[in-house]
Amino acid sequence: MAKEILAAQNLIKHFGSGDALVRAVDGVSLKVNKGDLVLIKGPSGSGKTTLLSMLGGLLKPTSGTVTLLDRELTGRNEGELASMRSSEIGFVFQAYNLLSAISVAENIVFPARLSGQSMEKARERADHLISRLDLSHRRDARPDRLSGGEKQRVAVARALINDPPIILADEPTGNLDSQRGLEVAMLLQEIAKEDGRAVVIVTHDERIEDIADHILWLEDGRLRDRKAEPHEWARDPVCGMRVDRWVATSSVRYDDKEFVFCSERCREKFLTEPNKYLPAT
């Protein structure tokens, strides 16, 4: 049986209260195994970042649990969480988040300093990662001199420096052109498949879907597994356009059937004269 790295049980995160209550994540359970590459997708504001930051011990859930390598994150204090973040989780962000004052090589070893590792070992690992990620010619450069793709490769190297069992990435290709985006995606796949790490990626990027083992669809803070049936096509009865049921934003139940529409306009048209659009039976 595949080794379980990360698990979440009924995770809930609510912001605010009363009328302003936002159910950013609303009862999510998931498991990520060694070597798994899991995508989390969903419309903007569906709670992807909120979920990822709870998985990474950056945000305390309102309720529910997160378990990393059989150790529960929930209920730990700030110091313990920080130490787990530095040594057991690798983060990759859309905005790269490199430290601007220090060189590529120093950025890469930064988490090793935090986790109190032997610096000699860390430097060896950094050298290895620098050549693996094709950054040798850039090792002494400051981050502001790098291209986007290079920056993200530095961020990936930094995420790997402490040899964490899991990588969490929020829109890692979001700021990159399609070529560089693809390279970073392939890199993350390699990290999952060859290194045997668990990799969780939040993304809007369609092209990454092909390399994923699982795609989780998050909507209004709730999850659906979509890998089995990536799309469920239906026809908009008004205009006849093909619409994916999983993503459709307007729908209506009529006559015990669910109809989906390409737009709110079509839905309104349908509601004024349903019979006109009903398929002949």
Partner 1 sequence: MFYWSVKSLLVEKWSVLTAACGIALALLLALYLDAVFRGEAGQIVTFIERTPGDVWVLQDGISDLHMARSRLNENAIYAVRQVEGVAGVTRFLYRDSLIGPNGQEKLAYVVGIPSAPEARSAWERATGWTAPTPGHVVLPAPMARAQNLQPGDRVRVGDESFILSGVSRGTYSMANPLIFLDETDARNLFDMGDGANVLLVFARPDTSPSDLAARINREVEKASALAPQALRHNDFNLAMKMGGALIGVLEVMGLAVAGLIVIFTAFVFSSNHQREFAIAKALGAPTKQLAGSALAQTAVVSFLGIVIGALVTYPLEAGLHHWVPGIAVSFSSMTVLVLGTATLGLALLSALLPLRYVLSVDPMLVFQG
Ligand X SMILES: Nc1ncnc2c1ncn2[C@@H]1O[C@H](COP(=O)(O)OP(=O)(O)OP(=O)(O)O)[C@@H](O)[C@H]1O
Measured distance CA(245)–CA(251) in Å, rounded: 9
Q: Which is nearer to ligand X, 44 or 281 (CB)?
A: 44
Size of the site for ligand X (CB under 6 A): 12
Q: Which is nearer to partner 1, 13 or 197 (CB)?
A: 13
Rg (CA), the chain: 22
Partner from partner 1, ligand X, Mg ion, none contacting 270, C-beta within 5 to 8 A by type = none
Rounded least distance, CB 48 to Mg ion, Å: 5
49 in contact with Mg ion (CB under 5 A): yes
Rounded least distance, CB 21 to ligand X, Å: 10
For the chain, give the longest Cα–Cα distance: 75
Rounded least distance, CB 250 to partner 1, Å: 29
* Terminal Cα-to-Cα distance of the chain (whole angstroms): 49
Q: Which residue of 78, 120, 206, 210 would you call a contact of partner 1, by CB under 8 A?
A: 78
Partner from Mg ion, partner 1, ligand X, none contacting 44, C-beta within 5 to 8 A by type = ligand X
How many helices (H) and strands (E) would you count in the chain? Answer: 8, 14
136-166 core/surface letters (b: 16 or more CB in 10 A; e: else): eebbeebbeebeebbbbbbbbbbbbbbebbb
Which tokens belong to 69? 């390598």
SS3 88: helix
SS3 116: coil
24 in contact with ligand X (CB under 6 A): yes
50 in contact with Mg ion (CB under 5 A): no
Binding mask 42-81 for ligand X (x = CB under 6 A): x-xxxxxxx-------------------------------
User: Taking a C-beta distance cutoff of 8 angstroms, is the pair 15, 22 a contact?
Assistant: yes
Rounded least distance, CB 40 to ligand X, Å: 8
Rounded least distance, CB 60 to partner 1, Å: 11
What stretches of 48-133 adopt beta strand conformation (E)?
63-68, 71-72, 89-93
Q: Which residue of 3, 16, 63, 101 would you call a contact of partner 1, by CB under 8 A?
A: 101
What stretches of 94-244 adopt beta strand conformation (E)?
166-170, 198-202, 214-219, 222-225, 233-235, 242-244
Partner from ligand X, partner 1, Mg ion, none contacting 46, C-beta within 5 to 8 A by type = ligand X
**Cβ-closest position to Mg ion:** 49
Residues that bind partner 1 (CB under 8 A): 49, 53, 58-59, 78-79, 82-87, 91, 93-95, 97-102, 106, 110-111, 113-115, 158, 170, 174-175
